[in-house]
Amino acid sequence: MKAQYQNKEAQRLPVLALLALAMTGFICILTETIPAGLLPAISAGLSISPSLAGQLVTAYAAGSLLTAIPLTLLTRTWSRRSVLLSTVCGFLLFNTLTALSSDITVILIARFLAGASAGLAWSLIAGYARRMVVPSLQGRALALAMVGTPIALSLGVPAGTWLGALLGWRLTFAVMSALSVVLIGWIVLIVPNYPGQSAAQNMQLGAVLRLPGVRSVLGVVLTWMLAHNILYTYIAPFIAPAGLAARVDLVLLVFGLAALGGIYITGKIVDTHLRKAVLLSLAVFAAVSLVLGIDATSPLVIYAGIAVWGLTFGGAATLLQTALADAAGEHADVALSMNVVAWNSAIALGGMVGGVLLDHAGSQSFPWTLLILLLVAFAIAVRGEQGFPATNSRSTQPISN
C-alpha cells in the first residue's frame, strides 16, 4: 500500500518545489537585466559614465560564461540542495554588496561573482527538476521549472526601471537580496535533496562532450540562440523603420507574453514530441525571418512576427535542455554547464555580430542573417538524431533519485 502511494506521488508534478527552481531562474535573469533599466541612476549615483555603468551587465555575463563549467565540475559530488542553496546565497551576498558599495571596482567584482552563481544555477536547474519526477514527466517538470525565465525577460528591464524610480537603484538591488532570503527558506522547506555524483561516476569533460548527441544539441543551441540574440539585442533599431522606436517596451511585452504561451505548449508536448517540436520551432522562426526580410516596415507585420517569434522561443530552453540532459544521462549537470557556455557565447556573439551588421549593412540585414543561421540549426537537428531522437526513451525508464 505504501509503495503504491509513493508511486502515485512520483507520478505527480511537485509544483511548489519546481516553482522554487523557477524562482531561482527568475532571480538569475532579473539580476542580470535590472542594470539595463537603471543605467542613468547608477551612472549618476556612482559618478561614472553610462558606458562604464553598462559593464555591470558585461561583468555578470562574463562570470556565467567563464565559471559555469569549473564550478559544476567542482560541486558535482555535493548534494544537489547544497549546490542550489549556495547559488542563491551567492545572489544574496553579491546583490547586497552591489547595493551597499560605492566603489565601482568592488561592484564589478560582485557582479562577476553574481554571474558565477547564475552559471552554476543554470547548470543545475534542469537536472534537478528532472530528478523530482518519473522519466515520462521530466519534460513537463523542466517546462515548469523554466517558467521564470520568460517572465523575467519580459518584465526585468521595466521592473528594474519602475523600482529604480520608486526606491532608487540601491534599494532595487536590496529587493533582489530580500527575494533571495525568501527563496532560501522556500528551498529548505520544500525542495527535496538528492546526492551528487560519486567519484566513480565522474567523467572527464571531453568524454561528456563526445557522448552521442551532445555536440549536435550544443550546435543547435549556439546557432538558434545566436539568431535569437542578434534580433533581440538590436530590436530597437530593427523596429524603428516601422515607426515603433518609441514602443520597444510594448514590443518586448508582446514577445514575453507569447513566450509564456510557448512554454505552456512545450510543457504539453516535450515528453512525447521533442524532435518535432524543435524542428517546427526552427522552421517557423525561419519563416518569420523570411517574412520580416520581405517587409519590416509594417507595424502589423512586426507585431505578428514578434508574437510568433516569442511563441517559438518560449519553449527553446526546455526543449534544448531536455534533449541535452537525455543525451548526457547521468552526466547531465556537466553537459548542461556546457549549455550555459554555449548560451552565453551566443548572447555575446549576438551583440558583436548584430553590431557589425547594423553598422555595415543596416538592420534590414538581420532577417536574412537569421534565416541562414536557422537553416543551419535545422540541418544540425535533422542530422543529429541521437541528440533529437524521434522516439522518447524515457517513457519506460524508472524514476531515479
Cα–Cα distances in Å, from 164 out to 31, 33, 72, 159, 170?
13, 13, 34, 8, 8
Give the separation between CA 189 and CA 205, rounded to whole angstroms.
Answer: 34
How many Cβ atoms sit within 10 Å of the Cβ of residue 82?
11
What is the Cα–Cα distance from 233 to 157, expressed in whole angstroms? Answer: 13
Q: Which of the listed CATH numbers 3.60.20.10, 2.10.10.90, 3.30.750.24, 1.20.1250.20 matches domain 9-201? A: 1.20.1250.20
- Are 212 and 134 spatial neighbours (Cβ–Cβ below 8 Å)? no
As given in the structure block, the three cell numbers for residue 370 are 537569421
Residues of the chain with CATH 1.20.1250.20: 9-201, 205-383
Q: What pLDDT score was predicted for residue 399?
A: 41
Specify the amino acid at residue 117.
Answer: S
* Structural contact between residues 364 and 254, judged by C-beta atoms closer than 8 angstroms: no
What sections of 11-137 are H helices per DSSP? 15-46, 50-53, 55-75, 80-100, 104-131
CA distance 355 to 359: 6
Looking at the structure, give the CATH architecture of the domain made up of residues 205-383.
Up-down Bundle (1.20)
Q: Which pLDDT score is estimated for 2? A: 44
Q: What is the pLDDT of residue 245?
A: 84
Question: Do residues 353 and 369 touch, judged by C-beta distance below 8 A?
Answer: yes
Q: How many CB atoms lie within 10 A of CB 333?
A: 25
Mean pLDDT per 10-residue section of the chain, whose length is 401 residues: 47 90 93 80 87 83 90 90 96 96 95 95 90 87 84 72 84 94 97 81 77 94 94 87 86 86 89 93 97 94 96 91 88 86 86 87 94 97 89 53 42
Q: Whole-angstrom distance between the N-terminal and C-terminal Cα of the chain?
A: 21
Residue 175 region by backbone torsions, left for phi larger than 0, else alpha for psi between -120 and 50, else beta: alpha
In a 13 Å sphere around the CA of 63, the CA atoms on its Cβ side amount to 28
Q: Which H or E run includes 179?
A: helix 169-190
Determine the pLDDT at residue 393. Answer: 60
